[in-house]
Structure 1
């Protein structure tokens, strides 16, 4: 096994169990490891720190796996970690919920691996060379542990490029390909998921708890669901007897899927206006018309993929939330989210404060949203805490 020697005083983060070692912290690589090979990380005095896997093309040169020098990173090690992650989610899967995230990368001590379950099918995102190297072990373990029909590779994230990997999109890894739409349930609501063509792994199960909370305020209300995708907030609002919902998304496939999901749940189609449009443009149209809502949901895509884009993202979040506030009735509710890991909750609060000043509104925060338990946050890896949101009353 190749030894990686760190520069003097660069071992602190490793000792604190942070799972990333950046290339700038490396003093010496003793040998020529292949990308994805397991290596031994040592401090400047050649004392053992941890095991991890290496990549010379990535800014994160080593992703750490185990801090026990007696550990053996073999097939059994990988199987044990996968089994532990799945077991921790068993209670989340029942007759009312058949979809959840089974493995969440660093948070489950499996950096670079994301696994989502959609009923009888799994969608994998393999983001690093170290996980790519043990893909067969991972697929075999998952197919053995779970009663499923197929495993699909959805490794189309741009993160793979940082490890010198090509993207994969909808490749069958095991079993059979899913049909065009797979039916799942979440909190009793039915969804048709397009695993092969849908965004990311096919469905955003990280908003499961937040959808339920927002919907509990929707009875008899007129709701605007922006970036509605396949209808998570819309369908939950309808389940809780919303008077009407306007759902807006720029994707034709998303709007089509939303309509299918309304029919699938036998909700009143007359209560829903599904709009294919750029959200900011549509909000401006609503403002010009003087149309207002009781509840507005803003769940945009990731505006800040990195810290370098944070200033630009903050302006985008501010403009979006200003427009959202302007189409709310006085005393109405705004559920606003950011899935940008680079933006922490305090910065997000400041952005909302700026938006309120520009809109001439007063804001009360009545609830703070976060990601659900199948997206845990590892205490030594704050970067895993990406989803945050605020539930606000706007005056």
Structure 2
């Protein structure tokens, strides 16, 4: 494969030499014509080598650095080495008797940005985030075939702007799974669908947070789960001994999906509340009816849009917390979570502080969480550690 030279603005040279993996368009010194998947050699203004990378456009940037070694060959062996290292790093997960779903390869955190690999009880799911990354699919698929005892491989092409997937069901090779595929996470069951749309049924990055809620913030508690998706937090809370869970989500499908997750864990869903409603409307409804909860889980998407309103975590999270404060009991706990990479934990804490001050209420941060160990990240790329979770006690 022919390697193309690309010159980098001197303001970004040290950043890339120190391990920052994402190539930003503004870092390029001049316009260059590149094809998705091209291996490129980054040079400074004096033509001195900086790094080897590949060109692949996604919402974050235009490519990812692969190596700081000028003599590195980007081939099957390169991908095999990176993926083997990633698998060894997750050895404890592979050997777990209570969890059989986790992240195997976390993009740039494991050395190659632009794709991720998740494991679901013998099945591997590859998420491709750019056409450039997808050009290397044979390397990735053949490596998994060689290194693992996989049952089968599925993929999702997240770069298709139409929002539809080119593959009918994403199946690549091996044996097709029956769906739902029932997996375990901390001995809690989840129904997984590798053949439907972008989402599979549970977000693996919240496994530690869910487990903490089950162990310490559920027994005898009334638990409200907002933006509940398929009710994963609610299932954990119920297993943890919650007196009642309430799951609220705008999507009609969330009702049946939540019932399914309760049912496969042998929980009587009729004893739980599952509400299909705009979460903001539910807050108004709960305030009017003076509902108060012991534990409130607040995990909105970074961006959301309904017929009535738009929500942006970066702009609107503070007001969201103010609404939650009104329906949380004194001594209750708010689990505030966001996957928005546009701000860091320090900024997130200012949202919380401002919300409580404006509500004339006092609080204490009990715990904080970021991504779990299998979602490996780089210190040189803090925005890759996008998850921010705070357990907040409402004191007054």
TM score, norm. by length of structure 1: 0.90
1:175 — aligned with what?
174
Partner SS state of residue 11, structure 1: helix
2:300 — aligned with what?
300
Given that residues 301 and 313 in structure 2 are in contact (C-alpha distance below 8 angstroms), is that contact kept between their aligned partners in structure 1?
Answer: no
1:204 — aligned with what?
203
1:133 — aligned with what?
135
The whole-number CA distance in structure 1 between the counterparts of 2:128 and 2:45 is 32
- Name whichever of 182-191 and 85-94 sits farther off: 85-94
Partner SS state of residue 223, structure 2: strand
CA deviation after TM superposition for structure 1 residue 92, in Å: 1.7
- Name whichever of 41-50 and 19-28 sits farther off: 19-28
- Within a 5 Å distance, the mapping from 1:11-50 to structure 2 comes to 11-27=13-29, 33-50=34-51
1:214 — aligned with what?
213
CA deviation after TM superposition for structure 1 residue 131, in Å: 1.6
1:329 — aligned with what?
329
CA deviation after TM superposition for structure 1 residue 199, in Å: 4.7
Distance 1:390 1:8, change over 3 A: closer
Distance 1:60 1:270, change over 3 A: closer
1:111 — aligned with what?
113
Please, which runs of 5 or more residues in structure 1 have no aligned partner? Answer: 305-310
CA deviation after TM superposition for structure 1 residue 26, in Å: 2.4
1:81 — aligned with what?
82
CA deviation after TM superposition for structure 1 residue 28, in Å: 5.1
* 1:367 to 2:367 alignment: yes
Post-superposition CA distance 1:315-370 (Å, at most 9, x none): 42122211111111111111010110112111111111222234332111111121
Given that residues 123 and 201 in structure 1 are in contact (C-alpha distance below 8 angstroms), is that contact kept between their aligned partners in structure 2?
Answer: no
Given that residues 125 and 201 in structure 1 are in contact (C-alpha distance below 8 angstroms), is that contact kept between their aligned partners in structure 2?
Answer: no
The whole-number CA distance in structure 1 between the counterparts of 2:347 and 2:27 is 29
1:357 — aligned with what?
357
- The partner residue of 2:151 within 143, 149, 165 is 149
The whole-number CA distance in structure 2 between the counterparts of 1:168 and 1:82 is 25
* 1:271 to 2:242 alignment: no
Post-superposition CA distance 1:179-237 (Å, at most 9, x none): 33110000000111122226535420100001111222211111111122222211111
The whole-number CA distance in structure 2 between the counterparts of 1:265 and 1:79 is 38
Given that residues 219 and 243 in structure 2 are in contact (C-alpha distance below 8 angstroms), is that contact kept between their aligned partners in structure 1?
Answer: yes
2:343 — aligned with what?
343
Distance 1:64 1:166, change over 3 A: farther
1:100 — aligned with what?
102
The whole-number CA distance in structure 2 between the counterparts of 1:385 and 1:90 is 21
The whole-number CA distance in structure 2 between the counterparts of 1:220 and 1:61 is 50
TM score, norm. by length of structure 2: 0.90
CA deviation after TM superposition for structure 1 residue 56, in Å: 7.6
* 1:90 to 2:91 alignment: yes
Post-superposition CA distance 1:360-387 (Å, at most 9, x none): 3211111112110111220111110100
CA deviation after TM superposition for structure 1 residue 58, in Å: 7.8
The whole-number CA distance in structure 2 between the counterparts of 1:57 and 1:279 is 30
- Within a 5 Å distance, the mapping from 1:42-61 to structure 2 comes to 42-55=43-56, 60-61=61-62
Given that residues 154 and 200 in structure 1 are in contact (C-alpha distance below 8 angstroms), is that contact kept between their aligned partners in structure 2?
Answer: no
CA deviation after TM superposition for structure 1 residue 49, in Å: 1.2
Distance 1:380 1:201, change over 3 A: farther
The whole-number CA distance in structure 1 between the counterparts of 2:359 and 2:163 is 45
Please, which runs of 5 or more residues in structure 2 have no aligned partner? Answer: 305-310
The whole-number CA distance in structure 1 between the counterparts of 2:187 and 2:130 is 35
The whole-number CA distance in structure 1 between the counterparts of 2:186 and 2:385 is 23
The whole-number CA distance in structure 2 between the counterparts of 1:294 and 1:57 is 41
The whole-number CA distance in structure 2 between the counterparts of 1:276 and 1:375 is 31
Distance 1:253 1:149, change over 3 A: farther
The whole-number CA distance in structure 2 between the counterparts of 1:174 and 1:121 is 10
The whole-number CA distance in structure 1 between the counterparts of 2:5 and 2:340 is 35
Length, aligned pairs only: 384
